[in-house]
Amino acid sequence: FEEYTAELFCKEVSANTVSLHYTLKAPEKYGIEATDATFGQFEREPEAVKAAAENMRQALLGFNYDDLNVQNKITYDILNYRLKLMKKSADYTMYEEPLGLVSGVQTQLPVVLSEYRFYDKEDVEVYLALVRQTEEYFEEIMIFEKKKAEMGLFMPDQAVETVIGQCRAFLEMGNGNYLYSTFADRVMELNTLTEKEKSDYIQENALAISDYVFPAYERMTEELEQLKGSGKNEKGLVYFPKGKEYYELLARQSTGSRRSVEELKDLTRRQINEDLTAMEQVLGLTTKEAKEAAAVITDKKAEQILEQLKEGSKTAFPEPPQTKLEVKYVPEAMEEHLSPAFYMIPAIDNSQQNVIYINRARMGNDMTLFTTLAHEGYPGHLYQTIYYESTHPDPIRSLLDFGGYVEGWATYAEMGSYYLMGLSKEQATLLQKNASIILALYALADIGIHYDGWSVEDTEAFFKNYGITDKDAVGEIYKLILGSPANYLKYYIGYVEFLELKKMWVDEKGKDFLQKEFHSAVLKIGPAPFEIVEDYMWKM
């Protein structure tokens, strides 16, 4: 079975150079030979995807499940789950959006290139070969977008404007673009190169950016301008043909929850009521007073906060493996277009190299920085990643992404961080429950817009019920959710699914309940659909 998963891993990870390089520092140790640099095949025919999924599933079903050990059974179940979902989603290929507003190619590619590690001279050569393919890669994306337009599935004009704005912000950096400076920094650190080689490579990179990357962004901007007016739907997915069915599938993919969309609504409302009840029990304290207390306590630098979180987490979470971490900051010119923060997952054979990016423009105050670093660092993404990697999982697991588990865990960590700030329990409770309710409202709005067909006015009325009356703010929320369907679900539903698992654990263990024991069990399973986490957490 492990030979089968190893073969599958090598085949899948080699499909594009970026995935290969970000997953493995030394592919040759896995029997993977060097191939030409490629961003991979962008679009695949639905029938070909279905056939591939079915063939892989038949090969999987050929193994005797009962003969496998627990870890291999988990891998088997996850592969089976993923292949069934892959077959279902093949019919909705044209609904996918590579130019999403939150994490589209246009904003992610520069970050991916700037963090592309150079271990040796060959990596530099491969990187430059990739950079020279940017125009072809973007052209493939635009062919896909034009097909979407022909089918009436293209994005609305307000989303086009946002994507164009993101492309222009990248271009306006000009000679100050971070793809110049980050490349030079990485090349200068390579001791195996001569000074002349370093100088030549820096010049070669500068030419490649001006000759291939900038023209790719300019061309994409022009073609998007031409496609304006092609979007026939200014509202949620439900207004597309089969849009409701697609959203149901997207919700399943995004959250990893087995619950129907209606059940997700009920779960969210139930959690809001629990949070409101907890807030009501903290009598006589206002959110403003709690925030003022937090602002005083957390006036620290990112590295100090991460150390505080790491130490504070040791009571309720298993000891994290030793690792290195570098905190970087989003370039000023891209602050408006990138997430508040993000963690760069390291290669599975180089898990010591970890990077967290912080977007200073999105850090409203010290409390936001504290909770964001809990989400991205300890006990969030960084901690979950290095802890799971220390269990030496099957390499194929690194390619099976489950956003509900990963972002749900990080949100769970973020919510727990309020109690590590040094605040009174009452202050921490008020701030945490308030944050949880706000995220819940975003999740309900996501379902409302894409599944129930809410207009902007419907969305304004919904938020008004909870005291949020700023129409401009709600308009921005509407636009963001419109351009990234089911995105908020993976954070919020993932978080609540962890709370549900914890309730089950408490019910089963009673007075013997230990947080650390529960956390250890769910972390050892690793990213997976929640039904599989629930099945196996008792066996870890």
What would the mean pLDDT of 8-18 be, rounded to a whole number? 94
Determine the pLDDT at residue 282: 86
What is the tens place of the pLDDT at every residue in 448-463?
999 999 999 999 999 9
Confidence of residue 300 (pLDDT cuts 50, 70, 90): confident
Q: What DSSP line would sit under 287-313, residue for residue?
A: HHHHHHHHHHHT---HHHHHHHHHHHH
Q: How far apart are CA 540 and CA 519, in angstroms?
A: 11
What is the tens place of the pLDDT at every residue in 131-142?
999 999 999 999
- In which element (H, E) is residue 14 found? none
- Measuring CA to CA, how many Å separate 389 from each of 6, 487, 492, 510, 515? 16, 26, 25, 30, 21
Chain-centre distance for alpha carbon 30: 26
* Strand, helix or coil for residue 356: strand
Determine the pLDDT at residue 186: 95
Percent of the chain with pLDDT over 90: 88
- Residue 32: what residue type? I
* Confidence check: pLDDT of 298 > 70: no
The DSSP 8-state label assigned to residue 328 in this structure reads E
* Strand, helix or coil for residue 326: strand
Q: Is the dihedral of CA 207, 211, 213, 215 positive or negative?
A: positive
What would the mean pLDDT of 477-485 be, rounded to a whole number? 92
HEC string of 242-282 equals CHHHHHHHHHHHHHCCCCCHHHHHHHHHHHHHHHHHHHHHC
What is the tens place of the pLDDT at every residue in 104-129?
999 999 999 999 999 999 999 999 99
Q: How far apart are CA 332 and CA 405, in angstroms?
A: 31
Determine the pLDDT at residue 297: 65
* Confidence check: pLDDT of 194 > 80: yes
Determine the pLDDT at residue 141: 96
Determine the pLDDT at residue 35: 84
pTM reported for the whole predicted model? 0.95
**Preceding peptide of 110 cis, ω within 30°:** no
* Confidence check: pLDDT of 503 > 70: yes
Confidence of residue 515 (pLDDT cuts 50, 70, 90): very high
Is there a contact between 363 and 369 (Cβ–Cβ < 8 Å)? yes
More confident residue, 297 or 229: 229
Chain-centre distance for alpha carbon 334: 18
What would the mean pLDDT of 217-235 be, rounded to a whole number? 96
Is there a contact between 247 and 489 (Cβ–Cβ < 8 Å)? no
Determine the pLDDT at residue 336: 80
Provide the mean pLDDT of the chain.
94
* Strands of the sheet with 341-344, listed across from one edge: 324-329, 353-358, 341-344
Greatest C-alpha distance within the chain:
69
CA angle 497, 419, 417 (to 5 degrees): 60
The DSSP 8-state label assigned to residue 318 in this structure reads P
What is the tens place of the pLDDT at every residue in 241-258?
999 999 999 999 999 999
Percent of the chain with pLDDT over 70: 99
* Confidence check: pLDDT of 288 > 90: no
What is the tens place of the pLDDT at every residue in 395-427?
999 999 999 999 999 999 999 999 999 889 999
- Measuring CA to CA, how many Å separate 23 from each of 348, 396, 400, 536? 6, 10, 12, 26
**Count of alpha carbons within 13 Å of 189, Cβ hemisphere only?**
10
Tokens describing residue 82: 């993923």
Quote helix, strand, coil % in the chain, to nearest 5: 70, 5, 25
